[in-house]
Amino acid sequence: MATRVGYFYDAAHVAHNSVSHPENSTRLTETLRTIERLGLNRTLVQIASTPATLDQILAVHTAQEVDLVRAASAQNRGFLDPDTYVTPDSFEAALRAAGGSIACVDAVLSGQVASAYALVRPPGHHATPQRPMGFCLFNNVAIAARHAIQRYGLRRILIVDFDVHHGNGTQDAFYDSPDVLYFSTHEYPFYPGSGDLREVGSGPGVGYTVNVPLPPDCGDDEYRAVYRDVLVLVARRYAPELILVSAGYDPHWSDPLANMRVSVGGFRDLLSVISLLAAESCQGRLVMTLEGGYNVQALSDAIATSLYLLQGEDTVVDTLGPAAAPARRPDVQPIIEAARRTHRLND
């Protein structure tokens, strides 16, 4: 029997929309259409959810942050910064996105499903405790992690963030805590500017933030090397009780906002590594939350492929195919070595 895999989808996300913005509702409506066309909805378990409570949001964000999002939404203020829009329905949509991420954690930790995918938007990983930014209103993955800590008493949660942008908000939320190990690969230097190798955590959190900043043009081979030679060692040493993934598919070669060369098959390989780590250390307990990915075809194919992989199936859905070879392949060995030295992974 195939592994039981859950997914969360709430049509209310469509009310948070700006048609000319890359982070628009077609990202998820097209993804759902793909899931239904492939019949994946018949084998997946749909996870029911309620909007996150204010207490759940306030476990990560300040009251000022929440008030800002609520007031801006209620007043239909438009843009909070040059990147981040709100509509009258955005506050509610953001509560539902956080709630869906929490529900996926509950479904996995209660044993209802082996793993789950929160198909949510607005995305979350740039939202810091103090402010919404970078298309993000509330930090879904951070809120889900905090829920796992507070509700289930977990003390070692690994967050793997493969979005092409650094998840500054998630890093900030747990920078001084060993309860969450935040691992990120991202294009660098790039938006939002953070994610240097030397950002490793503070106080009791030193060593529990692992950044692997990458040059442009990294493709499947470069990403595979980083995950094999850095993430695997980090995760085995940490022995997480739960793995959360900030799944951003904007490292795809076709993405309009970034400069990497990952293919759908490459994402599949990264998730395969993450999934094996979950099997090794936490009975496969894995929750994915959607972050970026702005070529809608690549996004929906990659999400479908991810869902197949979680179910233990090899199917790759890849309409666009692999990237063209770059003029010059980037050399990631120096950054891999530097990350291994910084985090004493060679000892």
Write each residue from 28 to 67 as x if it is in contact with Zn ion (CB under 5 A), else as -, in one continuous string.
Answer: ----------------------------------------
- Minimum Å gap between C-beta 250 and Zn ion is 4
DSSP 262: B
Residue from 241, 250, 255, 301 touching Zn ion (CB under 5 A): that is 250
DSSP 85-139: EE-TTHHHHHHHHHHHHHHHHHHHHTTS-SEEEE--SS--TT--SS--BTTBSS-
State how far the Cα of 228 lies from the Cα of 224, in Å rounded to an integer.
6
166 given a catalytic annotation: no
Specify the stretch interacting with Zn ion by CB under 5 A; choose among 6-14, 159-167, 228-236, 332-340. 159-167
Q: Which residue is nearest to Zn ion (CB)?
A: 292
Residue from 66, 292, 302, 303 touching Zn ion (CB under 5 A): that is 292
State how far the Cα of 67 lies from the Cα of 11, in Å rounded to an integer.
24
In this structure, are residues 327 and 219 in contact, taking their beta carbons and an 8 Å threshold?
no
State how far the Cα of 118 lies from the Cα of 8, in Å rounded to an integer.
5
- Minimum Å gap between C-beta 246 and Zn ion is 9
Enter the tokens of residue 294: 């702005």
Residue from 6, 169, 201, 248 touching Zn ion (CB under 5 A): that is 248
CA atoms within 13 A on the CB side of 323: 23
Nearer to Zn ion, 165 or 343 (CB): 165
Residue from 10, 106, 163, 301 touching Zn ion (CB under 5 A): that is 163
Q: Which residues pair with 182 in a beta bridge?
A: 159, 209
| Residue 167 found at the interface with Zn ion (CB under 5 A) | no
Specify the stretch interacting with Zn ion by CB under 5 A; choose among 180-188, 224-232, 235-243, 284-292. 284-292
| Residue 161 found at the interface with Zn ion (CB under 5 A) | no
Enter the tokens of residue 259: 């400069």
Closest Cα to residue 73, out of 94, 47, 42, 55?
A: 94
- Minimum Å gap between C-beta 37 and Zn ion is 26
Nearer to Zn ion, 23 or 65 (CB): 23
- Minimum Å gap between C-beta 291 and Zn ion is 6
- Which element (helix H / strand E) includes 276? helix 264-282
Enter the tokens of residue 122: 């607005």
Nearer to Zn ion, 9 or 191 (CB): 191
Specify the stretch interacting with Zn ion by CB under 5 A; choose among 76-84, 231-239, 250-258, 311-319. 250-258
Q: Which residues pair with 244 in a beta bridge?
A: 159, 287
| Residue 165 found at the interface with Zn ion (CB under 5 A) | yes
**How many amino acids of this chain bind Zn ion (CB under 5 A)?**
5
The catalytically annotated residue of 13, 125, 126, 147 is 126
DSSP 3-state assignment of 277?
Answer: helix
Catalytic residue numbers, as ranges: 126
The site for Zn ion (CB under 5 A) is made up of 163, 165, 248, 250, 292
